[in-house]
Amino acid sequence: MIDQALLDRVQKQAWFHRYPRGWPILLFLIASITTAVSVMAIERADRQTRRVELDRNLTEISSALQRRVTENIALLRAGGALFATQPPGTAGGVTRTQFAEFAQDLQGNGKIYGSLGVGWAPLIPVERLADAEVAIQDEGQTDFIVFPRPAPGQRAVAPVRYILPQTTENQSVIAYDMFSESVRREAMEKAIRLGGPVASGKVHLMQDSDTKASGGFMIYMPVMVPQGGRRSAIGFVYSPFRAKDFLASASELYRNDQIDVAIYDDHIAPETLLAEQRSDGVPGPAMERRIDVGNHSWVVQISDKKAGVLTTLSRIVLFFGVIASLTVMGISRFITKRAAEDRRVLEWLTSQASIRNSLTRELNHRVKNTLANVLSIAALTRRRSRDIDDFTDSLTARIRALSATHDLLSQSDWGYAALGDIVRSELAPYMEGEDSHVVMSGPDIKLAPNDAMSLGLAIHELATNAAKYGALSTIEGRIHVYWVLISPDLAEISWREEGGPSVTPPSQRGFGRDLIEKIVAHELKSEVDLQFKPSGVECRLKVPVRAAREFMLRAGHRPA
């Protein structure tokens, strides 16, 4: 008897047996998805935090840039107000001494807040340029000649008269006409229209004419004086800036130096890049903001640095999540494996018990039949025996014959059948001798027992019909049977008759035709193409080819 406790336990765990591999994988996926969702939530919160921090940094950096510009503009406004009180002259009304005192009082050495210094450029009409150059040369600047020379149609020039501090690079720009360059001229004309400070667009500084330095910009403050009932510009107090030095000066005003910062003139493009600061690391999300710098528009773009693909917390969660997922999968796999093993034990025990019961019943039946046969043989032998020796010999021989028959029955088994053997067995009477009426060919194909029986019925009916009315009813008649494997699980058999009497389609359906077209077709689960052509009957039918495990299960349970 099978232990009842084992049966109860295995029955409770039957659901494990249905999906021995699916449950561990499902639990692994659930744990993995939970880990992934947790990591995504952590990363999303981190992105939001970083974005808020990035926005705060952008505000701080933008404020620092505007503060530096405001400090320089305040200095230039003071110079503009001072020089507006000076009487106008040929060279703009500002003497070297006045400019030097201004620069010393307000700017120290003339180089703070990220600028290269402060300068004075008088606005001189072109027709008075020669007189102005002579006057400036008479004041001691003997080599003062404006360059480049005014272009045809140019109405005024704005040459650099003074610039402090007197560095070598600053001295190289003395007498340079800033009105000759379009970006500078546009900024100066806008400053005159507004009557206030204006920053220029991106320019290449004359101080960097021999180098490939980064871009620069200018801030102009017009000096306006009353002339003829209106205010007119007599020149500009200005400061030139290297954009990268200006950005470095502004970086002193914000605390986060682990951020990429880029400044663009008016819009973001490679050619409008003024300056940038890069730090080590993988660039993260970027954010930009438009700011006003001296009545001119800049775009400030910043991006933070990512420590890695995932944050530290995400990596920790991912690491322990993977370990937990693998652990859950391993434990569930162990449980389902044990359940499957118990289930197989139960199935084996149940199968053995069923086989044992069947064998016992079969043995009882066969023993009874054998004993009855033996008794009958013994009784018949006794009546026809002359003496005891004759009885013994006859009885022994008959019991041995009975045993041999029993051995043949025991050796026979319900297995598969070859398609060719089925056709050959049904058409064997017409294939005897040298003058065979049957031509058959095809590969070796094994059929399941039920399919073999159905095919045998079909071949038998076709052969019977051919013998009565078709090709097998005449000496010249021939039957061609061939079969092919049209797919791994389907074979097609073709039957064609020739040389027999002319065939006319029957007016009524007979039992054989119904058997082939309905019963056989239903059993084989395919349509039968049966045609009554004048040259002879033709039939095509398909037979499923099934794997041996689908119809040889008895062989696996046969007792040793």
**Model pLDDT for residues 375-401, shown as the tens digit of each residue:** 655 654 565 567 787 778 656 644 653
Long-range contacts of range 348-354, CB-CB < 8 Å, 24 or more positions apart?
Answer: 349/2, 350/2, 351/557, 353/2
Decide: helix, strand or coil at residue 42.
Answer: helix
CB-CB contact of 221 with 238 (8 Å): yes
375-399 exposure pattern, b = at least 16 Cβ within 10 A, e = fewer: eebbeebeeebeeeeebeebbeebb
Task: For residues 32 and 321, give the distance between their C-alpha atoms in angstroms, rounded to a whole number.
Answer: 7
3-state SS string over 429-494? HHCCCCCCCEEEECCCCEECHHHHHHHHHHHHHHHHHHHHCCHHHCCCCEEEEEEEEEECCEEEEE
pLDDT at residue 154, as a whole number: 92
Q: Is 170 exposed, middle or buried (0-12, 13-18, 19+ CB in 10 A)?
A: buried
Task: For residues 423 and 408, give the distance between their C-alpha atoms in angstroms, rounded to a whole number.
Answer: 25
Phi-psi region of 447 (alpha: psi -120 to 50; beta: other; left: phi over 0): beta
What does the block give as tokens for 397? 């021989």
Question: Taking the domains of the chain in order of start, what are their residue ranges?
Answer: 354-411, 417-553
Below-70 pLDDT ranges, the chain:
1-20, 86-93, 106-113, 210-214, 256-257, 306-308, 342, 355, 358-359, 362-363, 365-385, 393-416, 432-435, 449-450, 510-512, 514-515, 518-520, 547-560
pLDDT at residue 408, as a whole number: 32
Task: For residues 378 and 374, give the distance between their C-alpha atoms in angstroms, rounded to a whole number.
Answer: 6
Sequential DSSP letters for 151-201: PTT--EE-B--EEES--HHHHTTTTBBGGGSHHHHHHHHHHHHHTS-EE--
112-149 exposure pattern, b = at least 16 Cβ within 10 A, e = fewer: bbbbbbbbbbbbbebeebeebbebbeeeebeebebeee
CATH code, residues 417-553: 3.30.565.10
**What value, to the nearest 5°, has the Cα angle with vertex 97 and ends 95 and 102?**
100
In the numeric block, the tokens 């060719």 are attached to 420
Q: Which residues contact 345 (CB under 8 A, 6 or more apart)?
A: 6, 10
What does the block give as tokens for 11? 């029955």
pLDDT at residue 187, as a whole number: 97
Query: 82 — phi, psi (to 5°)?
Result: -70, -50
Q: If we measure between CA atoms, which residue out of 149, 115, 105 comes closest to residue 238?
A: 115
CB-CB contact of 76 with 219 (8 Å): yes
What does the block give as tokens for 325? 């997922």
What does the block give as tokens for 530? 């049966």
Task: For residues 121 and 80, give the distance between their C-alpha atoms in angstroms, rounded to a whole number.
Answer: 12
Helix (H) or strand (E) holding 321: helix 312-384
C-alpha pair distances (Å), 456 with each of 24, 426, 524: 49, 7, 12
pLDDT at residue 240, as a whole number: 94
C-alpha pair distances (Å), 428 with each of 419, 454, 483: 14, 18, 18
Task: For residues 443 and 491, give the distance between their C-alpha atoms in angstroms, rounded to a whole number.
Answer: 10
Q: Give the chain's end-to-end CA distance (angstroms, integer).
A: 21
Q: If we measure between CA atoms, which residue out of 357, 352, 84, 109 comes closest to residue 196?
A: 84
**Model pLDDT for residues 166-192, shown as the tens digit of each residue:** 888 899 999 999 999 999 999 999 999
In the numeric block, the tokens 């200018």 are attached to 218
CB-CB contact of 419 with 493 (8 Å): yes
Task: For residues 143 and 515, give the distance between their C-alpha atoms in angstroms, rounded to a whole number.
Answer: 125
Q: Is 471 exposed, middle or buried (0-12, 13-18, 19+ CB in 10 A)?
A: buried
Kindly tell me the sign of the dihedral angle through the C-alpha atoms of 9, 15, 17, 22. Answer: negative
Question: Between β-strands 438-441 and 478-487, what pairing exists: parallel, antiparallel or unpaired?
Answer: parallel
Decide: helix, strand or coil at residue 288.
Answer: strand
How big, in percent rounded to 5, are the helix, strand and coil portions of the chain?
50, 20, 25
Q: Which residues contact 350 (CB under 8 A, 6 or more apart)?
A: 2
pLDDT at residue 241, as a whole number: 94
Q: What is the DSSP secondary structure assignment for residue 76, as one 8-state letter?
A: H
Task: For residues 297 and 217, give the distance between their C-alpha atoms in angstroms, rounded to a whole number.
Answer: 12
Q: Is the pTM of this model over 0.85?
A: no
C-alpha pair distances (Å), 476 with each of 436, 453, 498: 10, 30, 9
